[in-house]
Structure 1
């Protein structure tokens, strides 16, 4: 066991999300993990003082025990192999190549019925500070147009049925990562009957965790990171990689 000291570094631990935190990031966010490669703390302190240069981040919903492990992985938290992807070309971000894009999948028929245009062969940024998944607006609209039962509001935003089966699938480096419907659609307020919760769009309609954004890279936030065990590997500067494994 070794000690890592970061003089003058403030660390905020939140064990009860306040109103402003909830509004900004959602009620289930685990935290904001500052792993920007140009960060002075990450580049000059963390990387130079850990031996295996691996950071494991299993992100969990509130109360289910997320972790941040430096120089280690917790084998009890995942099963199967860790599948590695080389970090993308940006000198700042942790991005991965989506070689098969973002897909919609029917788990009952085991059929992929739609691939969002322009999402294949593109890099997506892993963003632990965002609860959702952010797409450029043409991708955003194309996705919702193919989700069964989705409807567009007059303001241009979309709502989906609170109950459904469609899976979001992300094709990364020849592997497919599936997010069940209940994990990418926001749950109705537990204090109110689901028949009366509508988030706009009428009874039985809910907001999803996929949002439209201005031009820029696709962002994969906690809605994606909660579904995989994630490892950031710094062992070869300039050739960093990201590993994903199935949760145990």
Structure 2
């Protein structure tokens, strides 16, 4: 285990599975105290047990990022437990893919509320402690879909919105020693991409193969690839990097 994030607290939304879990594991491996909120209580408990078995100091709380009071309460409890909120990763996400003419109001609203309102709720709650401490790192998980993707009018719009949110927070919070950046993953092997395979009616193996054919580095992404980029932005030494969007997609995307 490294010590890059020793004495730092990382708060990760949707941190019990997939990319979020990869990010949590990376922070834990490098000495951070980790706080996770997730709406999936079963996955949350599983993550907590696995981390505790490794001797990791972890705080978990079931919370819906769309509910401001739940998020504020969780951030407050994590701060009381660990003494600081140094790093926030807005990772919680859902997909409700469909072509525009089939997309329902619910499909649109759910995706907007989880990605955008959820990130707003968590950032607003965490920044209070960061401003008091004159230090903070906020990392929002965007997506290459922000550049446009068939069947994802809602998701692409939300992920593009997160990039504008990121740049605005970097301007507002910079003077308090707080940076804000975004990581935009390309094709990553997770439960979410397995859902995509089911939606379009192909096997996950075939989806991976088809995706890899378009990726210059000739492999698919893994959660640890995203965790590596998040760790860079979260590093104390990255204090002059703010308002940036890093595409982690095995090739150029922007």
TM range (shorter): under 0.3
Higher relative contact order (CA 8 A, sep 6+): 1
TM-score, normalised via structure 1 length: 0.25
TM-score, normalised via structure 2 length: 0.24
Task: Give the strand-richer structure, 1 or 2.
Answer: 1
Task: Give the helix-richer structure, 1 or 2.
Answer: 2
